[in-house]
Amino acid sequence: MRWLKILCLFALSVTSSASMAERVKDVAMIEGVRSNQLVGYGLVVGLPGTGEKSRYTQQSFKAMLNNFGITLPANLQPKIKNVAAVAVHADMPAFIKPGQTMDVTVSSIGSAQSLRGGTLLQTFLKGVDGNVYAMAQGSLVVGGLGAQGLDGSQVVVNTPTVGRIANGATVERAIPSPFTQGDFITFNLNRPDFTTAKRLSDTINDLVGPETAMAMDAASVRVMAPRDVSQRVAYLSTLENLEFKPADNSAKIIVNSRTGTIVIGKNVKLQPAAITHGGLTVTIAENQEVSQPNALAGGDTVVTNQSIIDVRQDDSRAFVFDPGVSLDDLVRAINEVGAAPGDLMAILEALKEAGAINGQLVVI
């Protein structure tokens, strides 16, 4: 009855927390409630001549025939162009039960040209512990296309050696979950932060009671929960829809040197600094001219090179920033300077070296 009263209190207080910024389910996940990776090895058959003839494919093909009572001579190497060896993998969602289905991805691991039109034969999907948790089988849907000519030229659209099978795996064994065990549940923040963890625990304690939730570190908040499964489900349903205001991100500037992408966080501030931006352009052009002597002269006709060098210096402009300049002022000044992404990266790195940026500069 105590937990039922708490749930009623939660339901009445949800509407009063509408001014909060984020729901708990959007910023945290429950410890132990996660998906699990499965992987398997299988054969795709029925390919229109786009398979492979590798040794392990032939060995797998022979092993498959042996399972059906067909034994091939040891020295016989079957010529199979319609078969491909593949790796099959899937993510097994939390709480999925035997008999339910999930999607699988099939990828060629040999020299097969395409998996289009193929069918995956029964494949065991195993977990990291080596146990079989699902069985996969079905026709592949391949979004890629490939074509090759006799002269070796080829055209490839997307990736024809990878396909998917919707609901292609049937779960055979459930993975035990610690969700129903113990007197506590733990919320793990997607973005660890001490302030966010404290605010989350304070929000729960304000509604349920003191010492109900406790921030363990920057990433985890432990919350008391009922042992009864039905009450625990209803309890968490209310908890994960609570809204609170997470802490602001730390001041960062992210620079991607490969793509020229620059992202500046809203908390980035500048110390007093002066920035000047200018450019020197040097252009060199080579013109060839023909030098021909007069008709009665004894000289030879020759080709001469004439170089034209042009030096142009753009107007340089300097910007002086006062203490505590915000992101808006920084972006506005950069736009007025007209700096290209490469120049902007150099400006930001110089400001960081000068100690004029209150924030972290991350170059990836």
* pLDDT for position 20: 46
Q: Give the whole-angstrom CA distance, residue 343 versus residue 58.
A: 57
Tokens standing for 194?
A: 């001490």
CA 48, 52, 57, 58 torsion: positive or negative?
A: positive
215 and 114 in a single domain? The answer is no
Mind listing the pLDDT tens digit for each residue in 28-76? Answer: 999 988 899 999 999 999 888 888 877 777 778 877 777 777 777 777 7
Residue 272 lies in a domain: yes
Residue 177 lies in a domain: no
111 and 225 in a single domain? The answer is no
340 and 276 in a single domain? The answer is yes
More confident residue, 107 or 274: 107
* pLDDT for position 110: 84
22 and 62 in a single domain? The answer is no
Residue 349 lies in a domain: yes
Q: What is the number of domains present in the chain?
A: 3
Residue 182 lies in a domain: no
Length in residues, the chain: 364
Judge whether 123 and 45 are in contact, CB under 8 Å: no
If we measure between CA atoms, which residue out of 62, 80, 79 comes closest to residue 71? 62
Residue 340 lies in a domain: yes
Cβ-based burial of 10 (10 A; exposed 0-12, middle 13-18, buried ≥19): buried
27 and 137 in a single domain? The answer is no
More confident residue, 225 or 286: 225
- Could you give the angle at the alpha carbon of 325 between the alpha carbons of 324 and 330, nearest 5°? 155
218 and 319 in a single domain? The answer is no
Q: How many CB atoms lie within 10 A of CB 107?
A: 13
Q: Give the whole-angstrom CA distance, residue 161 versus residue 142.
A: 8
In this prediction, residue 276 has a pLDDT band, given cuts at 50, 70 and 90, of: low
* pLDDT for position 2: 46
Tokens standing for 277?
A: 């931006």
Res. 199: pLDDT tops 60 = yes
41 and 29 in a single domain? The answer is no
Q: Give the whole-angstrom CA distance, residue 108 versus residue 91.
A: 18
Q: Where would I find the beta strands (DSSP E) of 76-234?
A: 84-92, 101-108, 119-126, 132-139, 145-148, 154-157, 162-171, 184-189, 213-215, 220-224
Tokens standing for 208?
A: 């349920």
More confident residue, 138 or 71: 138
Residue 184 lies in a domain: no
Residue 60 lies in a domain: yes
Domain region containing 215? 2-33+190-244
41 and 164 in a single domain? The answer is yes
Q: Give the whole-angstrom CA distance, residue 122 versus residue 144.
A: 23
227 and 154 in a single domain? The answer is no
Question: Does an H or E element contain 182, and which?
Answer: none
Q: Tell me which DSSP letter residue 212 carries.
A: S
Q: What is the SS3 assignment for 220?
A: strand
228 and 259 in a single domain? The answer is no
- Look at residues 139, 171, 203 and tell me which one is the last residue of a structural domain: 171
In this prediction, residue 11 has a pLDDT band, given cuts at 50, 70 and 90, of: very low
Res. 306: pLDDT tops 70 = no
216 and 123 in a single domain? The answer is no
Rank 48-62, 239-253, 263-277, 341-355 by mean pLDDT and report only the highest: 239-253
Residue 117 lies in a domain: yes
Res. 252: pLDDT tops 90 = no
Judge whether 115 and 108 are in contact, CB under 8 Å: yes
Rank 94-98, 146-150, 295-299 by mean pLDDT and report only the highest: 94-98
In this prediction, residue 304 has a pLDDT band, given cuts at 50, 70 and 90, of: low
117 and 159 in a single domain? The answer is yes
- Look at residues 171, 198, 217 and tell me which one is the last residue of a structural domain: 171
Rank 15-24, 122-131, 156-165, 279-288 by mean pLDDT and report only the highest: 122-131
Q: Give the whole-angstrom CA distance, residue 159 versus residue 107.
A: 10
- Do strands 36-45 and 261-264 pair parallel, antiparallel, or not at all (unpaired)? unpaired
- Look at residues 171, 204, 229 and tell me which one is the last residue of a structural domain: 171
